[in-house]
Amino acid sequence: MTSDTDFRQQFLNFALSCEALRFGEFKTKSGRLSPYFFNSGQFNTGEALGALGGYFAQALLAAKVPFDMVFGPAYKGITLVSALAIALAEKGHNTPFSHDRKEAKDHGEGGLIVGAPLKGRVVIVDDVITDGAAKRASIELIRSHGATPAAVLIMVDRMERGTGSKSAVQELEADYGIPVIAIATLNDVMKLVADNAALSQYQSKIDAYRGQYGVQ
Q: Which residues are catalytic?
A: 105, 107
Q: How far apart are CA 191 and CA 13, in angstroms?
A: 11
Long-range contacts of 8-15 (CB under 8 A, 24+ apart): 8/59, 8/183, 8/184, 8/188, 9/188, 9/191, 9/192, 9/195, 10/55, 11/55, 11/183, 11/184, 12/184, 12/188, 12/189, 12/192, 13/192, 14/51, 14/52, 14/55, 15/42
Between 4-17 and 186-195, two packed helices, what is the crossing angle to 10 degrees? 80
The torsion angles phi and psi of 22, rounded to 5 degrees, stand at -135, 155
The terminus-to-terminus CA distance of the chain in angstroms comes to: 30
Q: Cα torsion for 168, 171, 177, 179, to the nearest 10°?
A: 30
